A and B are shown apart, each in its own frame.
Chain A
Amino acid sequence: MKRSVVKAYILKEFTELFRSKLIIMVYLMPSMIMLLFGYGIHMEVTHARTLIIDNDQSHFSRMLTAKFEHSTYFNAEVTLMSETEALHRIKQAKADIIVIIPSSFEKRLLHGQKSEIGVFVDGAFPNRGMTMESYVQGVILDTAQQIGGTLGKRGGMITVNSRNLFNQAMRDEDAIVPGLIGLVLLVAPAILSALMIVKEKERGTIFNFYASPLGRGEFLAAKLIPGFLLHSLNIFILFLWATELFGVPFRGSFWLYWLAAEIYILISLSIGMLISVITKQQIVAVVLTIIITIIPGFLYSGILMPISSMAGESYIEAHLFPVMYFNHIVYDSFLAGTGLASAKTVEYLGILILYAVIFLTLGTFLLKKELK
């Protein structure tokens, strides 16, 4: 491989990238995906519109309504409307939750009798419905304990003290944003490298490679190095978005994150190269790259669900795509910080390197220096 030849080709690639303004896409797309998905996906529910029908108007019932009113999870409104009217409000999508406190609420409790509180939750979106339901149950349970305490019953003896590890605040951003880095760095470099090779095929300039003594290694180096350098900068940009804009904590080693990300970009670039082997048109290359990278990148990123909870085919599929291994390291670096002390991280880093080597070799082998 002649260095001067590769250098000249790379210079040409950079000139083209800048003049064709493709460079804008290189930096706009990753940040766009990060911002859109980062703000767009929300698992937790806040400000659920809650109608509380307090038929009791007692000390205890007000204790309960106060708890709802003071929580950021609910926008509580205490009304005296009828049950049917309240249900109608849910149907109109003007309310999410109805809590009905029976008229004999306090009296029954003071007599040590069971009292039932009616709760209706809009379950149109099952996840959201379940979340709201558990919030409501939490609030009621909390109140019940407090009432039990004042009444001197045994109920007051037990309090649940749960703590979420790694993401103590249970913030959505912390759970989603690091996973997005794995998605973005899989999609963007792959599109770039596929475009850069297929563009020459579509235009016809690929003949300059076919008909000259230029080697396959030289050609590929010239095609992959610019993408590698440009996207290396994205590793830092995405890191800054995550920590500064979304306020995700970073507890691990930056060096590990950086190293893993560079290897991962190499994998992504070689996926683009493999796609360019089988496509002839830029548009086909882009669509194919997006399908091949975005779907697994999203599903198996650990954003939606942890890989460890997958079973059967999805478990196997998740292990086939490199995104899972990279995201393990990213989540670890951001939230846990175990780093190389964990054998799994070391193993996954090794797997990433293996992927890079296999894909690059495969691409070099499959890229033919002749017309089809």
Chain B
Amino acid sequence: MSDLKVNKVTVSYKKQTGIKEASLQAQSGEIIGFIGADGAGKSSLMHAIAGVIRFEGEISYFGHNYHSPREAEKIKPHTGLMPQGIGLVLYETLTVAEHLSFFANIRGLRQDAAFRAYQEKLLHMAGLSDFTDRQAGKLSGGMMQKLSLICTLLHRPKLLILDEPTTGVDPLSRLELWEILDTIRKEEGTIIVVSTAYMQEAAKMDRVLLFDGGEIIARGTVPELTESVRAYTFEAGACPEKEDVESDCFTFDRRSYSLDPLSVPRAEPTLEALFFVNALRTKRAIPKIEIDARESKMEIPESVMEARGLTKRFGNFTANDHIDMRLRGGDIVGLLGANGTGKTTFMKMLLGLYPIDEGELTLLGKSIRSSADRQELKAKIGYVSQHFALYKDMTVRENLIYFANMHHIPVATAIKRINRYAHELGFDAYMDHSPNELPLGINQRFSVAASLLHEPVILFLDEPTSGVDTIARAQFWEMLHRLKASWGISILITTHYMSEAEYCNRVVLMRQGRKIADDTVEKLYAEHPDAENFEEIFLSYYRDEI
């Protein structure tokens, strides 16, 4: 008999179905992972289990059956839900300590010595013991998520539902979040249902469910799942060239995926392979991305942008402390660091959005001093912000025309370019949809198109891949590499996916406003011979001095 039993649950919205006839079972102490693209139905099923949305079907929790949010009321004292979004359940103006007492009070917990000890322990695990007087709005993203988690854990739920708790969170905070979860699961015997976009995290779970198009299409332990796609995973580089666009072979990150046997040896499959093989199986075209050379021909000098000792202060707080960085033509530089280390500030300073407090910035050999110079910066740089700055009430086409107007591009040229990008980046089918109807992956690609309209020499991307599913991310990187190849464009990108650092030529590591490393990926691997993946290298820099 399972402790949690979900039986044929369907969640429907006005226009579409969230999840269709999903079933699952879980035992106490188990961690069940949900993976899949956004809009695949993970959140819908989580909301149904947590009893916050109307659904059809039956859920049974330790013998309590419920069919609606109203019936779920009786299990709510035993459940905890952390919805998707950083700091979503926190009140900006309340301090960490006030949050804890608020959540304890609305759950009606007796605040005796045992409770206080438990609370202290949670605070300690989250590394928030020293920040109890800080308001939630002033915490970094990683700290917010840890606070959200311990607030959800205060009443010792026996069923914990976490919707992408680690998306947009830096590797270190992510690791700490998982340590908390692991401890709680062992000590309290909690059933944990968690969705994630990080496959390394999914690999730690007891069982994984793969969602696609509102259905659960595969389930099992991680070895079982990877085994199921072993037959279709090959070493990279041997996709047969086919003229038709409907490709049944896809190559990404040193591996090729194909339903038909390839002439190359098979490779060790990963959870990512699951996504690619599934896309191939469902005949969902993974559009080929091809990018032509830019229209305006220009000589790209060896050093495109150079920052020397750039410093930015906000009051007493130094957000960027004497940072040097050099972008060469055709460089893809990954800017890595924990939440709140000043990556976005640095980018905004390079962009001319913030005045420079100290240091020197040169663009194409010319020093940037006046605000007119800074205006020049914006004309040479394409920028995609963390939360794609798109107008939700306009269609994709209207958005792009608007951005073209902002850059004073003649209408005829603009329309020609827009159509070309739409075709090359594979979003022509969505031109007349509004951004909030589209998956994140599409929005992300057309945001890049918007930032390329004025044919910049540099592209800044601030966490463009957060929350985007595996395939969309793979395509995104494919696009960046092609862009680099045909345009000679330099790219500066921030990301929390450490696996993505390996697709960059060079990585710059930041910690607390300072640069702590700046080297090629190969050299960093050479310096850290024990590291199995880039995440370990990253963490080693952070662990050293804490």
Q: Is the CB of A203 within 8 A of B88?
A: yes
Q: Given known contacts A5-B106, A212-B76, is B69 in contact with A370 (CB within 8 Å)? A: yes
Task: Determine whether A342 belongs to the interface, using a CB cutoff of 8 Å to chain B.
Answer: no
Q: Mark B64-106, 1 if CB is under 8 A from A, else 0.
A: 0000011001001101110101001111111000100111011
Q: Given known contacts A371-B52, A371-B53, is B90 in contact with A205 (CB within 8 Å)? A: yes
Q: Which residue of B lies closest to A215 (CB)?
A: B73
The residues in A between 338 and 355 inclusive whose CB is less than 8 angstroms from any CB of B are: none
A–B Cβ pairs within 8 angstroms, 5 of them: A7-B105, A207-B83, A211-B76, A211-B83, A212-B106
Task: Determine whether A4 belongs to the interface, using a CB cutoff of 8 Å to chain B.
Answer: yes
Q: Given known contacts A4-B108, A211-B51, A212-B106, is B76 in contact with A15 (CB within 8 Å)? A: no
A12 to B91, CA, bound (A): 9
In the complex, chain A residues whose CB is within 8 Å of the CB of B69: 210, 368-370
**Interface size class, chain A:** 20 to 34
Shortest A9–chain B CB gap in Å is 6
With a 10 A CB-CB cut-off, give which of B54, B69, B91 has the most chain A CB atoms. Answer: B91
Q: Is the CB of A12 within 8 A of B52?
A: no
Task: Determine whether A214 belongs to the interface, using a CB cutoff of 8 Å to chain B.
Answer: yes
Q: Is the CB of A8 within 8 A of B76?
A: no
B contact set with A: CB distance below 8 Å: 47, 50-54, 69-70, 73, 76-77, 79-81, 83, 85, 88-94, 98, 101-103, 105-108, 135
Question: Which of B53, B83, B106, B107 is in CB contact (< 8 Å) with A370?
Answer: B53
Task: Determine whether A164 belongs to the interface, using a CB cutoff of 8 Å to chain B.
Answer: no
Q: Is the CB of A204 within 8 A of B88?
A: yes
A208 to B103, CA, bound (A): 8
Task: Determine whether A168 belongs to the interface, using a CB cutoff of 8 Å to chain B.
Answer: no
Q: Which residue of A lies closest to B82 (CB)?
A: A207
Q: Is the CB of B94 within 8 A of A12?
A: yes
Q: Is the CB of A208 within 8 A of B93?
A: no
In the complex, chain B residues whose CB is within 8 Å of the CB of A8: 101-102, 105-106
Q: Is the CB of B80 within 8 A of A211?
A: yes
Q: Is the CB of A211 within 8 A of B53?
A: no
In the complex, chain B residues whose CB is within 8 Å of the CB of A368: 69
Number of A-B contacts (CB under 8 A): 83
In the complex, chain B residues whose CB is within 8 Å of the CB of A11: 102
Shortest A319–chain B CB gap in Å is 37
A255 to B329, CA, bound (A): 80
Shortest B179–chain A CB gap in Å is 24
Shortest A201–chain B CB gap in Å is 12
A20 to B79, CA, bound (A): 31
In the complex, chain A residues whose CB is within 8 Å of the CB of B98: 12, 15
In the complex, chain A residues whose CB is within 8 Å of the CB of B53: 370-371
Q: Which residue of B lies closest to A2 (CB)?
A: B108
Q: Which residue of B lies closest to A21 (CB)?
A: B93
- Nearest 4 A-B pairs (CB), nearest first? A8-B105, A204-B88, A19-B93, A211-B81
Shortest A15–chain B CB gap in Å is 6
Q: Is the CB of A208 within 8 A of B106?
A: yes
In the complex, chain B residues whose CB is within 8 Å of the CB of A210: 50, 52, 69, 81
Question: Which of B76, B81, B94, B105 is in CB contact (< 8 Å) with A4?
Answer: B105
Q: Given known contacts A204-B85, A370-B69, is B93 in contact with A20 (CB within 8 Å)? A: yes
Q: Which residue of B lies closest to A371 (CB)?
A: B53
With a 10 A CB-CB cut-off, give which of B50, B85, B108 has the most chain A CB atoms. Answer: B108
In the complex, chain A residues whose CB is within 8 Å of the CB of B51: 211, 370
Q: Is the CB of B89 within 8 A of A16?
A: no
Task: Determine whether A213 belongs to the interface, using a CB cutoff of 8 Å to chain B.
Answer: yes
Question: Which of B77, B92, B102 is in CB contact (< 8 Å) with A12?
Answer: B102
Q: Which residue of B lies closest to A208 (CB)?
A: B89
A12 to B106, CA, bound (A): 10
Known contacts A5-B108, A9-B102, A213-B73; can you find 18 more A-B pairs with CB under 8 A? A4-B108, A8-B101, A8-B102, A12-B91, A15-B98, A20-B93, A204-B83, A204-B85, A205-B88, A205-B89, A205-B90, A208-B103, A211-B50, A211-B79, A212-B106, A369-B73, A370-B52, A370-B69
Shortest A147–chain B CB gap in Å is 73
In the complex, chain A residues whose CB is within 8 Å of the CB of B105: 4-5, 7-9
Q: Mark A104-135, 1 if CB is under 8 A from B, else 0.
A: 00000000000000000000000000000000
A11 to B85, CA, bound (A): 25
In the complex, chain A residues whose CB is within 8 Å of the CB of B107: 212-213
A48 to B526, CA, bound (A): 93
Q: Which residue of B lies closest to A204 (CB)?
A: B88
Q: Which residue of A lies closest to B69 (CB)?
A: A370
Question: Which of A20, A205, A213 is in CB contact (< 8 Å) with B76?
Answer: A213
In the complex, chain B residues whose CB is within 8 Å of the CB of A2: 108
Shortest B91–chain A CB gap in Å is 6
Q: Which residue of A lies closest to B55 (CB)?
A: A370
Q: Which residue of A lies closest to B151 (CB)?
A: A208
In the complex, chain B residues whose CB is within 8 Å of the CB of A205: 88-91
A369 to B70, CA, bound (A): 8
In the complex, chain A residues whose CB is within 8 Å of the CB of B77: 213
Shortest B296–chain A CB gap in Å is 41
Q: Mark A302-328, 1 if CB is under 8 A from B, else 0.
A: 000000000000000000000000000
In the complex, chain B residues whose CB is within 8 Å of the CB of A5: 105-106, 108
Shortest B234–chain A CB gap in Å is 43
Shortest B331–chain A CB gap in Å is 38
A119 to B85, CA, bound (A): 73
Q: Which residue of A lies closest to B13 (CB)?
A: A372
Q: Which residue of B lies closest to A18 (CB)?
A: B93
Shortest B81–chain A CB gap in Å is 4
Q: Which residue of B lies closest to A211 (CB)?
A: B81
The residues in A between 206 and 254 inclusive whose CB is less than 8 angstroms from any CB of B are: 207-208, 210-214
A369 to B69, CA, bound (A): 7
Question: Which of B88, B94, B106, B135 is in CB contact (< 8 Å) with A207?
Answer: B88
Q: Is the CB of B93 within 8 A of A9?
A: no
Question: Which of A9, A16, A213, A370 is in CB contact (< 8 Å) with B94?
Answer: A16
Shortest A1–chain B CB gap in Å is 12
In the complex, chain B residues whose CB is within 8 Å of the CB of A9: 102, 105-106
